[in-house]
Structure 1
Amino acid sequence: MTRQGPELENLLFKDCFTTLKDPRRTNRGNIRYSLEELIFLTIAAVVSGFQTYELIEGFGQEKLDWLRSYYPYKNGVPSHDTLGKLYGRLNPKEFSKCLIQFTESLAEQDTKVIAIDGKTVKGFLNQEGYPMHILTAFCANNRMSLGQKSVDGKENEIVAIPRLLELVCVKNSIVTIDAMGCQTEIATKIRKQEAEYVLQVKNNQKTLLENIEDSFSVKKTTDIDITEDCGHGRVEVRKCSVVSDLEFIENAHKWKDLKTIVRIESKTYFKKTAKEILGTRYYISSLPANAKLLNESISSHWSIENNLHWNLDVIFKEDNQAKRNQTAIENANLIAKLAMIMLEQEKTFTKSKNRKRLKAFANNTYRELILKV
């Protein structure tokens, strides 16, 4: 599998994995299925609604004739044990690189918001007793995962974020991170990669937070944007205020290219309970004092929760999986995200992802449309 991949704009599913190293001992001559056959079967099954190894095997048995129109499958369908052994050994870092190449070929090239946030896979502890936590870079515009990095053992997101930024092309984008990522080193790394940053500020940067609050109480507001969002039984009004005078920000020079501080005041009214919740959040940014752009960028950050983490939990049932091998779980997470991207990108059938998956199982042509084969 050494063939060089084509230009990104022409990349198809079958081209994604041509450089991926096979972890199996291929010199023994007992390999019954190619790496491409195993991956193609798996992803075709997952976009069709089947995720456990046993169900993927069952999907293959039902769709063997269709599978053979793309790959030989001379030995029939691989067993669930064969699939489990592969994904328990396949290098997630290298697998992720293949998927990043594919997703970047689908992503729009205009300015986009890239939200970085982490999610813990519940029900799994590694050998040291730590839960598995996966950090993801998510493109809000295209609703697609651009890359991921697992947080090892005792580490936290502060250590993992720079490593994730090295994997993902963020040039000309706006990178949004919650308070954990509000670090001078992370801001510098984002700017060195020719991207802008919007970082939330909380008590982990207590002095900075106090400086921002003092600034908003004294300094003149440079720009304001107000938006109203209705849906799901609630009405939310968001007021974004921006100050560009950084006189009260101690050591402002340590935050690379810091230009603005931001305050978001939200008022959320729940129609069913008639309750109203008020909230105030603060941010720092390398963006100029454009309240509308900052308001939209900060709002877009939450798409990683609504469009990625929610889908992984509810549609792909990540927290309920029975896999107990950390490598297998990382690879399953990657496959679920790729399937999610493919389902999101398919626009001809404007139904839910679950309906799309059902149609993909029933209709070979529609499945091919999703898989881009």
Structure 2
Amino acid sequence: MSDPLFLEYFESIDDPRQQGKVVHKLLDIIFLTVSAVISGCQGWEDIEDFGHDRLNWLRKFVPFKNGIPRHDTIARVISRIDITQFQDSFSSWMKTCCKLTHGEVIALDGKRLKGSFTQADRRDALFMVSAFACENSVVLGQAPVDKKSNEINALPELLRLLEIKGCLVTIDAMGCQKSIAQKIIDKEADYLLAVKANQKALLKQIESALLPKLAEQAKGGVLFNEADYQRNREEFRCCAVSHDLKQLSETVHWKSAKTIGVIASYRKEKGKISNELSYRYYISSAHLTAEELAISARQHWQIENGLHWRLDVGFREDGCRIRRQGAASVFAGLRHIAFNHLKAETSFKKGMPAKQKKAMRSTDYLEKVLSL
């Protein structure tokens, strides 16, 4: 039986061990780990136990000539994988199996892996920035944030990995930087960036241009209005945009800027209406209507609900105590491989935890998940 498709793209990763001492092949260990994570395993010992229980099935795909490696061997090998090579392999795999549509929203956002902190001082937990295709609901790539740096410096590396021509890249205020906007345009994509106080001059000009016109535009019927109803909470939003950027001197510094926008919202929780409106401001290189901007801004939050929340609930990511140097970032990437496979399997119409349990119970189902 042929290997699962994703393994082909990880063959180029260099084995960090001395070849004369290699007992268990790198691809064997990667395949074992991904299969175990799909089946709900959390730590190194769980992965080893899964391997012993499923050895005959695993050998349908990879040889495991010397049996299942010990958990400390699995941990040592995974922790020494070159993260840059892993990222390149992951993005190459996704470029092949995920076809993006023109104008699709690609959300970039970071998540802290709370359990990956340094044991001595319980600090320096890993921060991972991911790219999420909102329409396809899959992870396109990821990049760890250096402990001595921040998300801004990881975004260019993540953008380097992506093939996003014709897409709309959304980033929160942390990524609202001229250099980031330039890199997105260089990738032949458009940006939609949230503007906050880290761009004071731009924020002030957008406020001055749009806030006085909100009431006037509302009377003219050009606002886009929407409501969101959830249990015990209702949220009402309206959006206004402008394409006349000549009066805004700050926008000339933003590559290909065509649209500025504001979304005003208020909440009604348990029958109580908030007395304050909240405002969110945006700049984009795409020519967006008020409706398009509102929908795209709303889609950005799918990375929170569709990825980060599922990783915590389905994979218990925040509770994962893998902290060995280098292991947390690679294991997060392996978790994303498992996430994408489980998300692609739609015949069993239940959530991630139920799919993982089914994969643990049934090798037929696990094989089906890995084939996607």
Q: TM-score, normalised by structure 2?
A: 0.91
Aligned counterparts of 1:262 and 1:207: Cα–Cα separation in 2: 15
1:360 partner letter: A
Asked if 1:25 corresponds to 2:18, the answer is yes
1:238 partner letter: R
Between the two proteins, the alignment pairs up a number of residues equal to 360
| TM-aligned CA deviation for residue 236 of structure 1 | 2.5
Residue of structure 1 in register with 2:317 after alignment: 318
2:271 partner letter: A
Aligned counterparts of 1:103 and 1:268: Cα–Cα separation in 2: 38
1:73 partner letter: F
Task: Provide the secondary structure at the position in 1 that maps to 2:126.
Answer: strand
Aligned counterparts of 1:169 and 1:106: Cα–Cα separation in 2: 12
| TM-aligned CA deviation for residue 153 of structure 1 | 2.6
| TM-aligned CA deviation for residue 13 of structure 1 | 2.7
8 Å Cα contact 1:214-1:248 kept in structure 2:
no
Aligned counterparts of 1:96 and 1:291: Cα–Cα separation in 2: 36
125-134 vs 321-330, greater mean Cα deviation: 125-134
Structure 1 residues 125 and 58, CA, compared in 2 at 3 Å: closer, same or farther? closer
Structure 1 residues 147 and 33, CA, compared in 2 at 3 Å: closer, same or farther? same
Asked if 1:334 corresponds to 2:328, the answer is no
Structure 1 residues 343 and 123, CA, compared in 2 at 3 Å: closer, same or farther? closer
Aligned counterparts of 2:126 and 2:287: Cα–Cα separation in 1: 37
Task: Provide the secondary structure at the position in 1 that maps to 2:75.
Answer: helix
Q: CA RMSD in A?
A: 2.2
Q: What are the Cα deviations for residues 86-134 of structure 1, in whole angstroms up to 9, with x where unaligned?
A: 1110111211221212222232321211111111222444699644211
2:61 partner letter: Y
Aligned counterparts of 1:248 and 1:71: Cα–Cα separation in 2: 63
Choose from 173, 176, 192 the match for 1:179.
Answer: 173
Residue of structure 1 in register with 2:359 after alignment: 360
Choose from 25, 32, 46 the match for 2:37.
Answer: 46
Structure 1 residues 169 and 365, CA, compared in 2 at 3 Å: closer, same or farther? same
Aligned counterparts of 2:17 and 2:257: Cα–Cα separation in 1: 49
Structure 1 residues 78 and 233, CA, compared in 2 at 3 Å: closer, same or farther? farther
Residue of structure 2 in register with 1:164 after alignment: 158
1:113 partner letter: V
1:51 partner letter: Q
Aligned counterparts of 1:230 and 1:45: Cα–Cα separation in 2: 38
Q: What are the Cα deviations for residues 125-184 of structure 1, in whole angstroms up to 9, with x where unaligned?
A: 469964421111111111111111112133122222122211111211101111111111
8 Å Cα contact 1:178-1:200 kept in structure 2:
yes
Residue of structure 2 in register with 1:146 after alignment: 140
Aligned counterparts of 1:79 and 1:267: Cα–Cα separation in 2: 55
Residue of structure 2 in register with 1:201 after alignment: 195
8 Å Cα contact 2:116-2:328 kept in structure 1:
no
1:252 partner letter: T
* Correspondences of 1:206-285 after superposition (within 5 Å): 206-218=200-212, 223-270=222-269, 273-277=270-274, 278-285=277-284
| TM-aligned CA deviation for residue 75 of structure 1 | 1.9
| TM-aligned CA deviation for residue 350 of structure 1 | 0.6
Stretches of structure 2 that go unaligned for 5 or more consecutive residues are none
Residue of structure 2 in register with 1:76 after alignment: 67
Stretches of structure 1 that go unaligned for 5 or more consecutive residues are 1-10
Task: Provide the secondary structure at the position in 2 that maps to 1:251.
Answer: helix
1:215 partner letter: A
How many percent of aligned residue pairs carry the same amino acid? Answer: 40
Structure 1 residues 14 and 183, CA, compared in 2 at 3 Å: closer, same or farther? closer
Asked if 1:122 corresponds to 2:114, the answer is yes
8 Å Cα contact 1:201-1:283 kept in structure 2:
yes
Aligned counterparts of 2:175 and 2:345: Cα–Cα separation in 1: 33
Aligned counterparts of 1:232 and 1:344: Cα–Cα separation in 2: 26
